[in-house]
Structure 1
Amino acid sequence: MTDPFLLSLILIIALALSGLSIGLAMICGSTLYLILKGFDPSIAAETLLQGLFNSYTLLAIPLFILAADIMNVGSLADRLLRFCQALVGRFRGGLGHVNVVSSLIFSGMSGSAVADAVGMGRIIIGMMTKDGKYTASYSAAITAATATIGPIIPPSIPMVLYALVSDQSIGYLFAAGMAPGLLMGLVLAVMNTVIARRRNFPVDDSVPLSEMPNVTVQAFPALMLPVILLGGIYGGIMTPTEAAAVAAFYALVISVVVYRSVSAGQFYSTLLNSARSTATVGILIAGALTFNYVITRENVPNSIADFMAQFELSKWGFLLAINVLFLALGCIIEAGAILLIIAPIFIPTAQALGIDLVHFGVVVVVNAMLGLITPPYGLLLFIVANITKQPLARVVRDLVPFIIALFAALAFITFVPDFVLFLPRMLGYTG
């Protein structure tokens, strides 16, 4: 008789390939497993509801999504870009640097790579392609690459998902992402400089220094959002979930009261878009919770740990294998599925090898984000290609140098854990 677990996997893959969302596919596969094993199928619903209702941290996800959507519909992105242009736009390839810096700042607000690419990215691509200063494919490539920083620098929706499956502190995970996010921004800026000189990109029109104070004042309310969020979290004033609510409320107040750039109709549309995005993530989480129950029943994590123990891998060998595996999976599986389904399977092995789970979480999230720019799945590739109306192959060609730079950053993040953990330790983490 065919193994029920194998049949459930086959059903999940078949449904996913047929176009059904991976979350619904996992719910169907898990239900089939329960039926074949003779269990009450209502266990799937019970597991799903318990997982959703017992996890207070999940509330952060819809709130961060709402905050990002409000910032995109308002004029925050325009004012932040003007500030970034004044800051770094005067160098050769300046708008490429503006792209990097704006992603670093915007990532401290949205926690989403897609929000970064769709909101800030759409505007900066228009600036870069205006008057033919930069090719559309290069503008798309660097925008996709910089958008991967969004979920690394806190706040971060993927970090919340990892905290859900690993039982680690969201606050410490947020802190651990700060230095790696800045490193990713640095290597992208260096690569942009190299390419700008090689291709002789123009020196863009710079904002006079005399206008810098006025530009800073205009952007100051938006620039304060990351300060309020991170200061509140690490100052013990609010939890990450409460910080997400503050982010959404603050973005709304700035956009409506201070900048007066969001109408009632736009706000209503923003709520609808946020609800749709939340529902998409929610279905994925629900599917992962039910399928994780199946994985636990089958003792898959311990079986994999026993299997890998045969190879007598050191923790560095294990981390190298994880990078190779997750980068490969990122080419075909969406980031949320990797974090919610694949990562938990390897957590027991990581613990057995003495790998810090906060460090492991950052490595996993960075891998998942790089999967967003690796073909054939690469969601960010499709987004920027659609914005610029460029063939995907042309965007990928210009993206390759940035992928190489990000791989170098990933290697450093993986094999120098103290670089990742020094900030959490300063904040009281004892791992």
Structure 2
Amino acid sequence: MIDPFVACILSILLLSLLGLPIGHAMIASSILYLMLAGLDMGTAAEQLLNGMFSSYILLAVPLFILAAELMNSGSLTLRLLTFCNAIVGRFPGGLALVNVVQSIIFAGMSGSAIADAAGTGKMMQRMMTEGGKYPPAFAAALTAASAVIGPIIPPSIPMVIYALVSDASIGYLFLAGVVPGLIMGLGQATIILTTAKRRNFPIEPPVPLRALPRITVTAFPALMMPVVLLGGIYGGVTTPTEAAAVAALYALLASALLYRSVSWSSLYDALQSSGRTTASIGMLIAGALVFNYVVTVENIPTSLSRFLAEFDLTATGFLLAVNVILLSLGCLLEGTTILLVIVPVFIPTAQALGIDMVHFGVICVVNIMIGLITPPYGLLLFVMTSISGQPLRAIAREVMPFLITMLASLLLITLVPGLVLWLPRLLGYTG
């Protein structure tokens, strides 16, 4: 008779290949495992309900998604782009630099790479390609690469999910992502500046200095959103989940009252879109909660810890091995699935080796974000293929220099934990 766990894994693979969403596949296959193992199949519902309804932290996910949708439906995004162009558009490859800078700023509002690419990505693609300024494939590749920064700089939906499985502090995880995100942004900007002359990237007409105050004032409400959000968390006024609610409300009020750019129709569309996205992520989380029970019953984390102990890995060696595994899986699997199913298996070993859970969380999130632009199945590459109309092969070729730079950034933050933990420790973290 086939082993129940093997049957469960084969069932997940088969159902996924047949087109069933991975969340549904994990739930169905976990029930199959319980049946074959002679366990109570009602345990699947118990694990799902306990995990979904006892985790207050999960409320932050739909609220951050809603905040991003409200920004895109209003004119906050356009005003941010105008502000970024006024600051860096005058340099070689100006619009390409605008793409990177706006992703860094937008990162402080949405927490989602897909929201960044789908929101500002459409506008940046149009702005960069009109008049033949930039090759369409390059514009699409840069937009995908810069969107990766979004979930690394706070707020971050992947970090919220990592906090769910690791019990690490969301506030300190958010802080820990700031420096790595800026390092990645600096690397992307460096590539643009070094290739601008070789590829004849245009310089945008400089915005007169006298116009900067007016542009800044116009964009000020949008620029204040990260301040309101993060100030509430680190000032002790709100929890991260409450801050997500404040971010959504702030985006609505700024778009509707200050900019008067939200209609009832666009508000309905934003609510509907965020609802669909939340339902998709929710089913994935539900499936992972049930499957993680199967993994626990099979004692997989302990078995993996014993297996790795045989190699006598140091903490650094373990982190490098995790990087290789997560980067490989990121080429094939969706990031949330990796966070919910694969990462929890590594956590006991990381703790046994004395690895800081905040540092480990940032490394995991960066790995998963890099997977979004890693061929053959990088999700952001598919998003930009749809937006730009360019073939996947062309976009994948253009994204390679940015991918190499991000891999170098990942290696740096892996080997130098102080880069990740400096800001959290500055604000009271004792890990």
| Same fold flag (TM > 0.5) | yes
Question: Is 1:61–2:61 an aligned residue pair?
Answer: yes
- Aligned counterpart, 1:182: 182
Q: Give the number of aligned pairs.
A: 431
SS at structure 2 position matched to 1:109? coil
Q: Distance in 2 between matches of 1:206 and 1:300?
A: 58
Q: Distance in 1 between matches of 2:131 and 2:335?
A: 36
Question: Is 1:264–2:264 an aligned residue pair?
Answer: yes
- Aligned counterpart, 1:153: 153
Question: Is 1:38–2:38 an aligned residue pair?
Answer: yes
Gap runs ≥5 in structure 2: none
Question: Is 1:16–2:52 an aligned residue pair?
Answer: no
Q: Distance in 2 between matches of 1:206 and 1:409?
A: 31
Deviation at 1:206, TM superposition (A): 2.2
Deviation at 1:197, TM superposition (A): 2.1
- Aligned counterpart, 1:206: 206
Deviation at 1:39, TM superposition (A): 1.2
- Aligned counterpart, 1:89: 89
Cα displacement string for residues 160-187 of structure 1 (whole angstroms, at most 9, x for unaligned residues): 0000000111101101101111111100
SS at structure 2 position matched to 1:38? coil
- The 5-angstrom pairing of residues 98-113 of structure 1 reads 98-113=98-113
Question: Is 1:192–2:209 an aligned residue pair?
Answer: no
- Aligned counterpart, 2:427: 427
Corresponding letter in the other structure for 1:41 = M
Deviation at 1:232, TM superposition (A): 0.8
Question: Is 1:306–2:314 an aligned residue pair?
Answer: no
Cα displacement string for residues 45-71 of structure 1 (whole angstroms, at most 9, x for unaligned residues): 110000011100000000000000000
- The 5-angstrom pairing of residues 68-79 of structure 1 reads 68-79=68-79
- Aligned counterpart, 1:125: 125
Q: Distance in 2 between matches of 1:90 and 1:69?
A: 30
Q: Distance in 1 between matches of 2:114 and 2:209?
A: 33
Corresponding letter in the other structure for 1:282 = G
Deviation at 1:288, TM superposition (A): 0.5
Q: Distance in 1 between matches of 2:70 and 2:360?
A: 32
Q: Distance in 2 between matches of 1:207 and 1:27?
A: 55
Question: Is 1:172–2:189 an aligned residue pair?
Answer: no
Cα displacement string for residues 335-380 of structure 1 (whole angstroms, at most 9, x for unaligned residues): 0001110000000111111111110000000000000001111110
Deviation at 1:196, TM superposition (A): 1.1
Cα displacement string for residues 107-159 of structure 1 (whole angstroms, at most 9, x for unaligned residues): 00000000000001111111100110101001001100000000000000000
SS at structure 2 position matched to 1:364? helix
- Aligned counterpart, 1:4: 4
Deviation at 1:28, TM superposition (A): 0.6
Q: Which runs of 4+ in 1 moved over 3 A?
A: none
- Aligned counterpart, 2:241: 241
Q: Distance in 2 between matches of 1:101 and 1:202?
A: 17
- Aligned counterpart, 2:48: 48
- Aligned counterpart, 1:338: 338
What percent of counterpart residues are identical?
Answer: 62
Q: Distance in 2 between matches of 1:261 and 1:116?
A: 19
SS at structure 1 position matched to 2:198? helix
Cα displacement string for residues 246-298 of structure 1 (whole angstroms, at most 9, x for unaligned residues): 00000000111111111001101111111000000000000000000000011
Corresponding letter in the other structure for 2:388 = T
SS at structure 2 position matched to 1:216? helix
Gap runs ≥5 in structure 1: none
Corresponding letter in the other structure for 2:246 = V
Q: Distance in 2 between matches of 1:49 and 1:291?
A: 13
Deviation at 1:428, TM superposition (A): 1.4
- The 5-angstrom pairing of residues 336-375 of structure 1 reads 336-375=336-375
Cα displacement string for residues 77-97 of structure 1 (whole angstroms, at most 9, x for unaligned residues): 100000000000000000111
Q: Distance in 2 between matches of 1:142 and 1:410?
A: 18
- Aligned counterpart, 2:412: 412
SS at structure 2 position matched to 1:199? coil
SS at structure 2 position matched to 1:360? helix
Q: Distance in 2 between matches of 1:390 and 1:254?
A: 35
Deviation at 1:203, TM superposition (A): 1.1
- Aligned counterpart, 2:281: 281
TM-score by length of 2: 0.99
SS at structure 2 position matched to 1:200? coil
Deviation at 1:319, TM superposition (A): 0.8
Cα displacement string for residues 207-242 of structure 1 (whole angstroms, at most 9, x for unaligned residues): 211110110011000000000111110010100000
SS at structure 2 position matched to 1:373? coil
Q: Distance in 2 between matches of 1:393 and 1:204?
A: 29
